[in-house]
Amino acid sequence: MGAQPDEWPWPDAPEPLPAPVVDNHCHLDVGIKGGLRIEVADALDRAAAVGVPRIVQVGCDLEDSRWAVEAAREFDAIVAAVALHPNEAPRLAETGDLDATIAEIDALAADPVVRAVGETGLDYFRTGEEGREAQHHSFRQHIRIAKKHDRALVIHDRDAHADVLAILDDEGVPERTIFHCFSGDAAFAQACVERGAYLSFAGTVTFSNAPELRDALKVTPADRILVETDAPFLTPVPHRGRPNASFLVPFTLRNMAETRGDDLADLCRQVEANTDRAFGGSWPRHQVRGT
């Protein structure tokens, strides 16, 4: 899957983590579709070499979700999440294809390589009021699919905190719920944790203009913290502005440990255990080729 890894603009590798963690939200296929030629096995090698030997590959539309399932079938260190991104919902509603496409996501979610339904949720940044009804409908259906198949629910929430919580409360929060790329303040973090959710922090937590996000991290209980890349987006400092990849997780996690005053190795072990609980159990770690 993919080719010519030398064409990917890899930064230098960070110092390896003292204990392994999972990149619980990655879009390997987006880099490939965007013209960044990447071999998935090479991406796994680079990540495993610095202590990130497992990845959750996340779908944002039907094509992406099918790709995620195929990748998880090919690589034991990858599991899949399948869904329609909230910004897909209004587009599909306009063509009359929303419910039929959700039904195909439902069918994909039954595959044993799928550990989560996501990323779903609400996005009021890119979609105006005219698209909110479709987003709400799609989000509710994805919540029901997650419960039906006993999958984790992975939530995309952008500028929609109150409505995300309202729909979750109305539908009933799935047993395992993850706020991907958590973007709220300390008060919103506490509201999510009160509902039993895990909060996943991305490279944004390292940005100098994100003090409220670091405040949220400080008040999040240790057993509710996850780490992600959202690669190829949200690259952590010091490589902000370049494409992101799973092997850059150590920059984010070191910043998180420093922000919280945690021992890095302890935080790694906690995040690893949290991820296994959130995604319904462990799965194999990638072994770097040639070692």
- Is the confidence at residue 197, as pLDDT, over 90? yes
pLDDT for 3 equals: 37
Examine residue 6 and state whether it is found in any structural domain, yes or no.
no
Task: Average the pLDDT over 36-45 and give the result.
Answer: 87
Examine residue 284 and state whether it is found in any structural domain, yes or no.
no
Examine residue 161 and state whether it is found in any structural domain, yes or no.
yes
pLDDT for 289 equals: 87
Question: Which one, of 66, 125, 132, 71, lies nearest residue 101 by Cα?
Answer: 66
33 versus 11: the higher-pLDDT residue is 11
Examine residue 285 and state whether it is found in any structural domain, yes or no.
no
Average pLDDT, the chain: 94
d(CA 150, CA 147): 5
Examine residue 263 and state whether it is found in any structural domain, yes or no.
yes
**Burial category of 262 from C-beta neighbours within 10 Å (exposed 0-12, middle 13-18, buried 19 and up):** middle
- The helix or strand, by DSSP H or E, that contains position 98, with its residue range, turns out to be helix 98-109
- pLDDT tens for 106-157 read 999 999 999 999 999 999 998 889 999 999 999 999 999 999 999 999 999 9
- Is the confidence at residue 266, as pLDDT, over 70? yes
Count of the separate structural domains present in the chain: 1
Examine residue 244 and state whether it is found in any structural domain, yes or no.
yes
pLDDT for 72 equals: 98
CA 72 to centroid of chain Cα atoms: 15
- Is the confidence at residue 281, as pLDDT, over 60? yes
pLDDT for 30 equals: 84
pLDDT for 5 equals: 42
User: 155: which strand partners?
Assistant: 120, 179
Determine the straight-line distance between the first and last CA of the chain, rounded to whole angstroms: 22
pTM: 0.95
- Is the confidence at residue 70, as pLDDT, over 60? yes
Task: Average the pLDDT over 3-18 and give the result.
Answer: 74
Q: Cβ(268)–Cβ(51) under 8 Å?
A: yes
Confidence of residue 7 (pLDDT cuts 50, 70, 90): low
Examine residue 1 and state whether it is found in any structural domain, yes or no.
no
- The helix or strand, by DSSP H or E, that contains position 120, with its residue range, turns out to be strand 114-123
Examine residue 224 and state whether it is found in any structural domain, yes or no.
yes
The domain of 148 spans: 23-278
Tell me, what CATH number does 109's domain have? 3.20.20.140
pLDDT for 128 equals: 87
The full 3-state SS of 56-73, as one line of letters, equals EEECCCHHHHHHHHHHHH
Task: Average the pLDDT over 202-221 and give the result.
Answer: 98
User: 203: which strand partners?
Assistant: none
pLDDT for 8 equals: 62
Question: Which one, of 37, 13, 26, lies nearest residue 78 by Cα?
Answer: 26
- The DSSP-derived string for 17-79 is PSS--EEEEE-HHHHHHTT----HHHHHHHHHHTT--EEEEE-SSHHHHHHHHHHHHH-TTEE
pLDDT for 38 equals: 76
